[in-house]
Amino acid sequence: MKQLHSKPNLTLTCYRAGVFDLDGVVTDSARLHCLAWQRLFDAYRAERVEQDRVSFAAFDPNEDYRRYIDGKPRYEGVRSFLESRMIHLPFGTPQDSADRETVCGLGNRKQRFFEQLLASQGVEVFASSIAFIESIRAAGLKTAVVSSSKNARVVLTGVGAHHLFDAVVDGIDSERLGLNGKPHPDIFSHAASLLAIPPERAFAVEDALSGVEAASRAGFGLVVGVDRAGQREDLLAHGADIVIDDLIELLPSEAAQGAPLPDALAGFDGIAERLGHRLPAIFLDYDGTLTPIVARPELAILDEAMRLILKRLGQRCSVAIVSGRDRANVAELVGIGSLVYAGSHGFDITGPGGLHMQYERAAEFLPHLATAETQLQQRLAGIRGVLVERKRFAIAIHYRLVAESDVDRVLTTVESVAEGLPQLRRTGGKKVFELRPRLPWDKGKAVFWLLEALDLSQADVMPIYLGDDETDEDAFAAMREIGGLGLFVGDASQVTAASHRLSDTVCVGRFLERLADMLETHS
């Protein structure tokens, strides 16, 4: 757990997504929920006194709401509060009428009160939250909203904020998908999955104790607690990394938002100047960098012109292909024997002169990968368009050809297979979910290893890494660490740790060609 109890340095490039609780963070609907709960428990208390002549301590809208109710699914809230008063009712069923004395019956009555309040008083957004969400979206981050409430979509639509989120996970989804309520991590993990962003690359914003705990347990990179109820210390104790009073504190200054990445072709002369007399060491991702993204992995064929450029470069400096693909597969696709190839996101490396490395301990994970592959093949067989691609140290589950309405099923299947195999971790990419060994290894570490192994950690060498996808971000971060150059291939709005950008694979070809021209002229 990170100890970061100061104001966040939310440099937008650090994260790729933000996941927001709704009630109390985006909208002021927590106020109505709290009022509805109060009406419910006041009415129920009066009934108990009248019927059974027993009473219990009245519902405290501050203390009881935040301790037993806030953030939890409806029936869990009823159960939790009643238990605090030593009252144990039968659960009943969600169909119970609102006058039944069951957990569900009382929960359904609370829903009635809430609907009445919503109709009479309406809900407002927190303007600072909307401004913050708009600002991070403009900077290219993805956003999701998570709420235990089954009213979340109605509330979101009512305030006209639905368009601000790429994904919504609410109480209805949770019931349908069997997600455990907060403080369990499920709802946050699911939102990150829908955004196809690893939780550690996302931040969460929550105002409930159960919510910060859930986000923290889901492994979010940063958990921001919003203190609207004077519970700063409790939020920290339940897993918030930092606590703010309002999202206005997170609004980036103009400077923090930063200028768009400089184009590496337009700025080629500047890059050449920075290179000076040093020799580049070039690291290249394959899909989306050397070949355009296409419908199926086997259709990503390297263009002859690109192959020629790579050969020219390979004659002047070190060139390594660092790919998520299987090492043998990518080596065959590139087809230049003199280059270095790192496959399975860097777990498996070979190169000329007998260069060979398989990440220590990776072989131990082969049985787990085999089990996952079998289960995935069996359980995804009924979904049209899914492709399961086995690499030596990873499995890619492609959904590019899957109908939109089936993508959720693919995701939940992958998640459930991964849940049974904690030795593997799930990552994402372009229309792909991946399972790979839960080991501290990635493309960035593979690049470091190669720089050492090839004796390139020298003052007269400048590493340059080109990539387009989220697994390339580790390598861009590595470039920053050692003063190399990270070139992101793709849209200008993308949030990335790279320092420069190239629009597409055609521009990659032009950039590499200019580099080859330059090296040939200087030699």
Ligand X SMILES: O=P(O)(O)OC[C@H]1O[C@H](O[C@H]2O[C@H](CO)[C@@H](O)[C@H](O)[C@H]2O)[C@H](O)[C@@H](O)[C@@H]1O
Which residues participate in catalysis according to the annotation? 285
Q: What is the distance between the alpha carbons of residues 29 and 152, in angstroms, rounded to a whole number?
A: 9
Output 398 or 500, the one with its CB closest to ligand X: 398
Q: How far is the CB of 287 from ligand X (least distance, A)?
A: 3
The residue assigned the tokens 């060139």 is 319
Output 244 or 479, the one with its CB closest to ligand X: 479
| Per-residue buried b or exposed e for 253-275, using 16+ beta carbons within 10 Å of the residue's own CB | eeeebeeebebbbeebeebeeeb
Q: How far is the CB of 228 from ligand X (least distance, A)?
A: 41
Output 170 or 287, the one with its CB closest to ligand X: 287
Binder among 296, 356, 361, 522 for ligand X (CB under 6 A): 296
Binder among 31, 312, 390, 430 for ligand X (CB under 6 A): 430
Which residue in 318, 345, 337, 270 sits closest to 499, CA to CA?
Answer: 270
Q: Which stretch binds ligand X (CB under 6 A): 161-169, 226-234, 319-327, 402-410?
A: 319-327
Q: How far is CA 266 from CA 254, 500, 521, in A?
A: 24, 10, 20
Q: Are the beta carbons of 519 and 313 closer than 8 angstroms?
A: yes
Query: What is 193-204 written as a DSSP string?
Result: HHHT--GGGEEE
Q: Does residue 324 belong to the site contacting ligand X (CB under 6 A)?
A: yes
Q: Does residue 392 belong to the site contacting ligand X (CB under 6 A)?
A: no
Q: What is the distance between the alpha carbons of residues 459 and 456, in angstroms, rounded to a whole number?
A: 9
Output 58 or 295, the one with its CB closest to ligand X: 295
The tokens for 232 are: 């700063």
Q: How far is the CB of 444 from ligand X (least distance, A)?
A: 13
The tokens for 291 are: 């070949």
Q: How far is CA 363 from CA 108, 359, 374, 443, in A?
A: 53, 8, 18, 18
Taking every pair of Cα atoms in the chain, the longest distance, rounded to a whole number of angstroms, is 97
Q: Does residue 511 belong to the site contacting ligand X (CB under 6 A)?
A: no
Output 36 or 396, the one with its CB closest to ligand X: 396
Output 239 or 324, the one with its CB closest to ligand X: 324
Q: Does residue 325 belong to the site contacting ligand X (CB under 6 A)?
A: yes
Total residues interacting with ligand X, rule: CB under 6 A: 24
The residue assigned the tokens 């909307």 is 130
Q: Does residue 398 belong to the site contacting ligand X (CB under 6 A)?
A: yes
Q: What is the distance between the alpha carbons of residues 392 and 328, in angstroms, rounded to a whole number?
A: 9
Q: Which stretch binds ligand X (CB under 6 A): 125-133, 205-213, 270-278, 286-294?
A: 286-294
Q: Read off φ and ψ for residue 301, nearest 5 degrees.
A: -100, 135
Q: Does residue 362 belong to the site contacting ligand X (CB under 6 A)?
A: no
Binder among 23, 70, 213, 285 for ligand X (CB under 6 A): 285
Q: Read off φ and ψ for residue 495, nearest 5 degrees.
A: -85, 125
Binder among 429, 437, 486, 490 for ligand X (CB under 6 A): 429
Q: Are the beta carbons of 184 and 213 closer than 8 angstroms?
A: no
Q: How far is the CB of 300 from ligand X (least distance, A)?
A: 4
Q: How far is CA 121 from CA 29, 39, 41, 118, in A?
A: 10, 15, 20, 5
Q: How far is the CB of 431 from ligand X (least distance, A)?
A: 4
C-beta nearest to ligand X: residue: 324
Binder among 432, 478, 485, 508 for ligand X (CB under 6 A): 432
Q: Does residue 288 belong to the site contacting ligand X (CB under 6 A)?
A: yes
Binder among 469, 470, 473, 474 for ligand X (CB under 6 A): 469
Q: Which stretch binds ligand X (CB under 6 A): 117-125, 148-156, 240-248, 288-296?
A: 288-296
Q: Strand ranges (DSSP E) for 252-393? A: 279-284, 319-322, 340-343, 348-351, 355-358, 387-391
Residues paired with 203 in a beta bridge = 18, 222
Q: Which stretch binds ligand X (CB under 6 A): 51-59, 120-128, 151-159, 294-302?
A: 294-302
Q: What is the distance between the alpha carbons of residues 185 and 16, in angstroms, rounded to a whole number?
A: 19
Q: How far is the CB of 299 from ligand X (least distance, A)?
A: 7
Q: Does residue 287 belong to the site contacting ligand X (CB under 6 A)?
A: yes
Q: How far is the CB of 503 from ligand X (least distance, A)?
A: 17
Q: How far is the CB of 394 from ligand X (least distance, A)?
A: 7
Q: Does residue 400 belong to the site contacting ligand X (CB under 6 A)?
A: yes
Q: Which stretch binds ligand X (CB under 6 A): 50-58, 281-289, 378-386, 456-464?
A: 281-289
Output 226 or 397, the one with its CB closest to ligand X: 397
Q: Are the beta carbons of 301 and 291 closer than 8 angstroms?
A: yes
Q: Strand ranges (DSSP E) for 311-423? A: 319-322, 340-343, 348-351, 355-358, 387-391, 394-398
Binder among 389, 470, 473, 474 for ligand X (CB under 6 A): 389
Q: Does residue 297 belong to the site contacting ligand X (CB under 6 A)?
A: yes
Q: Are the beta carbons of 472 and 487 closer than 8 angstroms?
A: no
The number of residues making up the chain comes to 523
Interface mask toward ligand X for 145-184; x: CB under 6 A: ----------------------------------------
Q: Does residue 431 belong to the site contacting ligand X (CB under 6 A)?
A: yes
| Contact residues for ligand X, defined by CB under 6 A | 285-288, 293-297, 300, 323-325, 389, 391, 396, 398, 400, 429-432, 469, 471
